[in-house]
Structure 1
């Protein structure tokens, strides 16, 4: 039962799943939305630039029929006429193509946005498989496409019927209008009918666009096991994460232990806590805590300190305060400056005494000035 449940795709697709699908070219697309925009754009472009295009074509026809015999026989003159005719129709045609291309771009990217995928364009054997093609022919998508085709037929049919019945008298009146005004009137009627029929596809788009979004989301849905596997692959399994954390901890401990020989003093509990401090008198600033540890780590710090001749001072209260309030490779808190200063002064004077340059220092006070808030 658990295995069957894990195979059910009941979970919404994750961001990574959707991003991977987008890279493969799997995005929600509505062909009818793009078709509607192209048709509407074509109708609008012809309405805007139709007069200019007709006028340009009229000039072209007049130029062609007014050529003299000498111009027809002259090759250079003919090329000049071709260039002139092309320049006459170039501007209106360019505007028409630009409007249609813009409409097509907007219509095809409105749902799903812009996506460029080489993988989607690459040939796939599954597309050539007869079995896969047979499944597509009788699958849910095929029935949906059949329903849309029937819906488009009825929508366009009834829209055309309503337009013809409403404009029937104007169409009949074209036969009694004077030439060439009746031609202009006929073209105007055709363009408005073309625009109305193109806009009737909005009904199809209202059905198709939400369906394509729903179908795309359904295809990308994941099972609970897939979500878990993806989370493991992206975040790492708990075992790997634990191993990485242990490795990082061991490396940090090694770096910390490497700083103990360079420290000036190790302050101990003396059984449970050990902290190593370093102070650079030339650069000034605050003393830094370069290593700290508890129990076995504390013993290890003391062992390294003894091996390298670093002084060890027993001050339980100060050792606990530094352990809990200071971090490795950071300055000690200002509140502990006074207590640490006394320890460092004692150590520096003791080192000078060992070199024969100073008297033996006065024993370090047992009760160092530690604020109550810093006592542990």
Structure 2
């Protein structure tokens, strides 16, 4: 019941990190039918390419052995020599077909997922020896689905094989009267035809099973809302900690701005909401923004400026525009040169009259 409830809670799509972790543990979508299809394809290719050659080599070796069997000594050394020769002949006859089948099996595995190197599936897990877990694997939903798939697959293949062979029943009767040399090509032709029909059916089965296995695997990787939140905290950081860090950075920026306000040439304000502190000296390319703020921070900038007798000029449109466009320690935009030049010129003339 607990596992069923847990599955019902897993309503969120898995993140890429969750999918990567599953792959690292060897949990990837894998269809046995894809592997079977490629093995059968390799076997069929071996029949087309190597079966004739293997059969001829085996027949020649066996014929030579039978024709000269009376000349072979009966001692142990001769027996070992005959055994080695038989093993070598068998390896030469079957090696090439097995190479085709092995390569096809590797392609069937690689086409589903890239190579993985992990020992996690080999590690002992005590829940595997639990009687309840074993009973669930044997009689659970997945077991019944696999049983139904196997039964349907066996039935379809049986029907296809019967239909194919029934169309060749006349030739099958003639096989009993053929000699070996005539029988081998005829049997090979029938085997290739039969395997071609089976492969066509297995292609449909393999594609359907692969789609089902990938869907089932994706459903298993789904996450609960709490797992999603926990992963976000682990990967992106705790939101509370990030908020605290932003607050600390803002405080540092504020202290640095307040320390720079006394060096400002002028404070441009929108009487109660915006304040921008600018600094300009002869030889500078353009005025630089030392500090800016809105509401409470703007009020603090004006207070510090008043304490250090920095001129404050009210120009609401210019204050709002500079606050929106200019960054701290950056030069003002070109489009505001004229307006700021008029303000700074007024301030410098004011300081000249005072002097």
TM-score, normalising length: structure 2: 0.73
Listed as ranges, the matches of 1:78-227 within 5 Å are 89=92, 93=95, 96-97=97-98, 99-111=100-112, 115-202=116-203, 204-205=205-206, 207-227=208-228
The superposition leaves residues 123-178 of structure 1 with CA deviations (integer Å, 9 ceiling, x where unpaired) of 32222333322221121111122222322332332233223222221122233345
1:16-70 CA-partner distances (Å, limit 9, x unpaired): 433333333222221122112211221112312323444555677799899x99x
Give the corresponding residue for 1:327: 327
Residue in structure 2 matched with residue 38 of structure 1 by the alignment: 39
Counterpart check, 1:361 vs 2:352: yes
Query: Aligned partners of 2:336 and 2:149: how far apart in 1?
Result: 79
TM superposition shift of 1:346? 7.0
Deviation for aligned residue 1:223: 4.0
The reply on whether 1:290 has 2:281 as its aligned counterpart is no
SS in 1 for 2:311: strand
Q: Distance in 2 between matches of 1:61 and 1:175?
A: 21
Distance 1:5 1:34, change over 3 A: closer
User: For 1:275, what is the secondary structure of its paired residue?
Assistant: strand
Inter-partner Cα distance in structure 2 for 1:230 and 1:39 = 43
Kept in 1, the 8 Å contact 2:305–2:312? The answer is no
Q: Where do 1:301-340 residues align within 5 Å?
A: 301=301, 312-317=310-315, 319-340=319-340
C-alpha deviation, 1:304, in angstroms: 5.2
Q: CA RMSD in A?
A: 4.4
Note the residue ranges of structure 1 that are not aligned, 5 or more in a row.
Answer: 70-77, 351-359, 365-376
- Give the 3 Å change call, closer, same or farther, for CA 316–162 of structure 1 in structure 2: same
**Stretches of structure 2 lacking an aligned partner (at least 5 in a row):** 73-80
- The superposition leaves residues 51-103 of structure 1 with CA deviations (integer Å, 9 ceiling, x where unpaired) of 3444555677799899x99xxxxxxxx9xx98xx79x949x945x45543443
* Cα distance between partner residues in 1 of 2:332 and 2:42: 72
In structure 1, how many angstroms separate the alpha carbons of the residues matched to 2:256 and 2:63? 92
Once the two structures are TM-superposed, the CA of residue 331 in structure 1 deviates from its matched residue by: 1.8
Q: Distance in 2 between matches of 1:150 and 1:324?
A: 71
CA contact (8 A) 1:6 1:225 kept: no
- Secondary structure of residue in 2 paired with 1:312: coil
The number of residues matched between the two structures is 337
* TM-score, scaled relative to structure 1: 0.70
